[in-house]
Amino acid sequence: MAMGNNQRIGSSYYNIGMNYFLRGKPAEAVENFNAALTFMAKSGDTRTMIETYRILGRAYQNSGDNPSAIKNLSLALELTKVIGDKAGTAGVFLGLGSCYGLQDNYPIAKTYFDSALIIFREIGHKGEWRSATIILRLFIRTWAIYLKRWTITIYRWPSTKK
C-alpha cells in the first residue's frame, strides 16, 4: 500500500472517530482513533498523529479513563517535542493539567497549566494565552475550594450529638 493511501485511510478513521467523539460516544471514537494511528504511523504523518493522540486522550478522559488519557497525551507530548511544535506542546500541557486535576493531583496539574501559559506567552499566541490564563484561574479557584473542604474535614470538631 502506498504512503498516500495510508494517510488517506488514517484520515478517514480519524474523521469517523471525530464524528463519534462529537456525538458523545467515546468508546467508538477510541476504536477509530486507534485505527487511524496505525495508518498514520505507516505514512509518517506526525502532525496528524499528534492531534489524534490529543483527541484520543480527551476521548479517554470523557469516558473516565484518566490513566489512558495521560498515556496518550504523553505520546502526543513526545512527538511535539521531536518536531519542535511549541504551540502543540502547550496544548498538550493543558490536556495533561486537566487530567491530573480530575485525579485531584492539583500540584502536578498546576505545573502543566503554568508551563502551557509560559509557552503561550513566549510564542505570542494571544488567544491561547488568554484561554490558558482563564483555565489556570478556574483551576486555582477549584483547588482553593478543594483545600478548604479538605481542611474543614480534617479539623472538624467531633459531634456532641448521639
Report pLDDT digits (tens) over 8-40: 999 999 999 999 999 999 999 999 999 999 999
CATH match for 1-76 among 3.40.50.10470, 1.25.40.10, 1.10.10.10, 3.30.1330.10 = 1.25.40.10
List, for residues 114-136, the tens digit of each pLDDT value. 898 888 888 876 655 556 566 66
Claim: this prediction has a pTM higher than 0.85: no
Cα 148 from Cα 142, distance rounded (Å): 10
Angle at Cα 128 formed by Cα 124 and Cα 129, nearest 5°? 60
pLDDT at 159: 44
Task: Report DSSP letters for 88-156, one per residue.
Answer: HHHHHHHHHHHHHHHTT-HHHHHHHHHHHHHHHHHHT-HHHHHHHHHHHHHHHHHHHHHHHHHHHHHTP
Domain spans of the chain, in order of start? 1-76, 85-154
The 10 Å Cβ neighbour count of residue 25 is 17
CB 61 within 8 A of CB 98: yes
List, for residues 38-81, the tens digit of each pLDDT value. 999 999 889 999 999 999 999 999 898 999 999 999 999 999 99
20-28: long-range pairs with CB below 8 Å, 24+: 21/55, 21/58, 21/59, 21/62, 24/62, 26/59, 26/60, 26/62, 26/63, 27/63
Coil, strand, or helix at residue 42? Answer: helix
The 10 Å Cβ neighbour count of residue 157 is 5
Angle at Cα 155 formed by Cα 152 and Cα 157, nearest 5°? 105
